[in-house]
Chain A
Amino acid sequence: MKPPPFEYHAPVSVDEALAALAETGPHGKVLAGGQSLIPLLNMRLAAPSHLVDINRVGELNTIAARPGGVRVGALARHAAVERSAEAAAVLPLLRQALALVAHPVIRNRGTVVGSLVHADPSAEMPAVLALLGGSVRLARLGGEREVAAADFFTGPMESAVEPGELAVSAFFPAPPPRSGTAFQEVARRHGDYAVAGMAALVTLDEDLRIAAARVACVSVGPAPVVIDLSDACDRRPAASVPWDAVAAAVRDRIDPDGDIHATAEYRRHLTGVLAVRALKDAARNAGTEAADE
């Protein structure tokens, strides 16, 4: 259980990091918080010959909360984003989801952008980015591009990051006014990856009926599965939404696999149940938000 040997690079600026990644190409791997990468190294499931450690790149340790959304730099730890009152004010979903990411001690070290790049289909942060329609900014020597969440998660543990690229930040857009969010999941043990779960977003109209509803499900596909449930909610107030039909709509749209943790059928059932819980929570939060206006 020891990591394989690698050549170590310790850039202190983004430019130095990009130069190291350009030089090492497909053999280079970025080390940020290491809470997913180092277990993979310890278990010899990955053996990159070069590690580019960005922990000294202070310019990446940023959390910028604006009315339009929150941009999180590549070195912002889960714990820092979770604690940020400014980020929570713009986007309560960040804190709602981060509280479910592993354990507090892991969150002290792990990074939000690292979770996105790791692209575990059972992880919370990719679902949050997918739900909100956010994006990841990828830099390479001499250029950068912004990749939308829908194009970013390309498969289980696979993202759109190309060799030589560094994910420098992620942008989580704020939902429209009168919106509420929630995150619901079920895990076998506290802090484990979820057997099923989802981030939910509900937007109310001026009469407090559900104008738009959307969930992003984890652990039921190769990447977060975003499902628009606006039609299923039938533009009614939360109290009179046909919730059984909403759960059925969710079950119809997913194709989960079974594994040692849960059968496919149980995952499908659970996802329907959790979708209703998450949407009800989100609708309640949207109501509170509307009342505050």
Chain B
Amino acid sequence: MQVGRVGDAGGVPTETVAGTAGLRDFLHGLPGVDQVGVEERAKRLATRSIKTSAKAQAIDAAIAMVDLTTLEGADTPGKVRALCAKALRPDPDDPKVPRVAAVCVYSDLVGVAVEALEGSDVKVASVATSFPSGRAPLAAKLADTRAAVEAGADEIDMVIDRGAFLAGDYGKVFDEIAAVKEACGDAHLKVILETGELVTYDNVRRASWLAMRAGADFIKTSTGKVSPAATLPVTLVMLEAVRDFRAATGRQVGVKPAGGIRTTKDAIRYLVLVNETAGPDWLTPQWFRIGASSLLNDLLMQRRKLADCVYQGPDYFTVD
């Protein structure tokens, strides 16, 4: 995977990035997003009918894109180990079920997850930077990030400073992302925009570009702690942003909707959105992830329904 240098706009003339004023001009010069139009488009794409072989393909793709997540104050090493076991073998009765993409935990539990997943290709993702609010001094955020990386995290899910963004202090948000990116070293950086707090689609588009230009490898909708979390129109705007960013700079950035995606039907709607907006290039776990916890069992249930033509009761799917 091609990763831009820290703070590199990747092909966009760097002078436009220089200084907060230049950054502000750039972000406010992006084409606007019409709310009615984008919601209508997302709604229309949600009516796509994915059946039979296409559904089977979509379910397996979605399973492989899941970032299996537990982010609770009550998380324990035991809980994380159980989740890792599920990630490695989602359906104990069917070894053909693909593994999920990653397990996503708090930074202090990264070590537990790394140990449990050792030798597998399932990645360990850690939230960092005072997740979910992001309200902490930069030094604390960087320490949080470094601790997670040192414990072996492959991916860091940081949150942006929404307060600074909403106050128009884009330079601060940019510098923080760039600093965290540097602290990540080889770990991939997912930047959580928390779109439920940014509220407008114009803000979502600007925050997407801001994060990508500051070095994000992925842009992610939400922490899952704020409602609304991921929505189809918000994800559509972000997919348009990564598509346009690649067209402008040649660098591809991934997208991760997270929070509120619970059913197979939801997941397939997201895949359709990716397919018809950013395009099939993004339809791999390398470029598209779904942050979820309960989604996985519904995917497994629908997968078995397709194969056996009957629904199994929930007791046939493991609860971890």
Do A and B make up one complex?
no
Residues of A near any B CB (own CB < 8 A): none
Residues of B near any A CB (own CB < 8 A): none
